[in-house]
Chains A and B, each alone.
Chain A
Amino acid sequence: MGSFDSFGDFLSMGGYAEYVWSAYAFFALVLVFNVWQPILARKKYFKQQLKREQVLAERAQAQQNSEEISNGITT
């Protein structure tokens, strides 16, 4: 495998495994955070907006119903 004799050799990084792999792990963590965070925020925001629309629609419906009832009483 490239400049290493075996996969185990590659993992041990010539004795620098903890340095090399912790640096790359932190880097990977930052990459994942930078993509997942905005995607999750977007999904959450969409759900919130859909709920808002539903509540507004229900409220409009309720308003209409109560108007019909009060109209029925007055006539």
Chain B
Amino acid sequence: MWQWLFKLGSPKWFYTMSGQFIPWLTGITVILLGVGLVWGLAFTPPDYQMGENYRIAYIHVPTAIMCYWWYGMMACFSGAYLIWRIKMADMAAKACVPIGFTITAVALFTGSVWGIPTWGTWWIWDARLTSTLVMLFLFAGVMVLRSAFDSVDAGAKAAAVLSLVGVVNIPIVVYSVEWWNTLHQGASNLSLSDTQANPPEVWLPAFFTGFGIFGFFMLALILRTRNEILQRERRADWVKDIFRSGKGEF
């Protein structure tokens, strides 16, 4: 276990291993997303109140759940960097930020679009919506704060500290629908029975899109982390060898 963690902290080991992992992850992601999207868009029956509009939920629910998990992951990398000074953890944390920002943007956008015909408004200062917007600003803030420093080290430290402070927002996003009784509904009860409100044929596609979207963003994280490694380790011999081989592709 510790040896594995130690290896993961080595940029060269991560670069080599992730290179072999990319085609597999791409394949799995394409299959999961393909099945989930076709199933959710074309084959599940329409909702008896929301009609076909509820199909937005197949991308809204997974991205909305993922945005705070993603924030938590970024915070873990930041913590690992601050405590143990692991360079790889900082590179991964940096790579997490733009991806987390776009995941949160998708959650907010799809929710707004769904809300126009359903709630009659695209935005309301509801607890869940507001705290998710704060999460979007936190991702943007971490990104801007890092770039505001001339020194790479100082920028990394400042970004890591802000990431950790922003963790306070995660329970607010998660429990907002229970703590405050505003507009956004709570989580639906998933049922295994066909006679209940949410039978498997309705929620199962969301698992496919959910894991597919997660796989996709993990892929994006790997690509960005690899770029970061090439930048920071450019003076290392093994990176120079990669440049000389001219392999611009993955």
Contact = CB atoms under 8 A, between A and B. Distances in A.
B28 to A, nearest CB: 15
Interface in A1-53: 1-4, 10, 13-16, 19-20, 22-24, 26-27, 30-31, 33-35, 37-39, 41-43, 45-47, 49-50, 53
Given A3-B43, A26-B106, A38 B51 contact: no
A62 to B, nearest CB: 21
B113 interface: yes
Contacts of A38: 220, 223-224, 226-227
The DSSP consensus for interface residues of chain B is: helix
Contact of A14 (B52, B99, B109, B220): B52
Interface stretch (B54-62, B64-72, B152-160, B181-189): B54-62
A41 B42 CA distance: 36
A31 B227 contact: no
Interface string B203-241: 000000000000011011001101100110010000000
A22 to B, nearest CB: 6
B44 interface: yes
Interface residues of A, number: 33
B109 A19 contact: no
A23 B216 contact: no
Nearest to A47: B248
Given A38-B224, A49-B243, A15 B51 contact: yes
Residue of B42, B219, B248, B250 with highest tally of chain A CB at under 10 A: B248
Give the 5 A-B residue pairs with the shortest CB-CB distance, closest first: A2-B43, A14-B52, A2-B42, A38-B223, A16-B53
B53 A35 contact: no
A38 B114 CA distance: 30
A39 B44 CA distance: 35
Given A30-B102, A49-B234, A42 B248 contact: yes
Instruction: Give the residue among A34, A35, A47 with the most B Cβ atoms within 10 A.
Output: A34
B27 interface: no
Contacts of B219: 35
Nearest to A48: B243
Contacts of A45: 227, 230-231
Contacts of A53: 243-244
B109 A35 contact: no
A20 B55 CA distance: 7
B200 interface: no
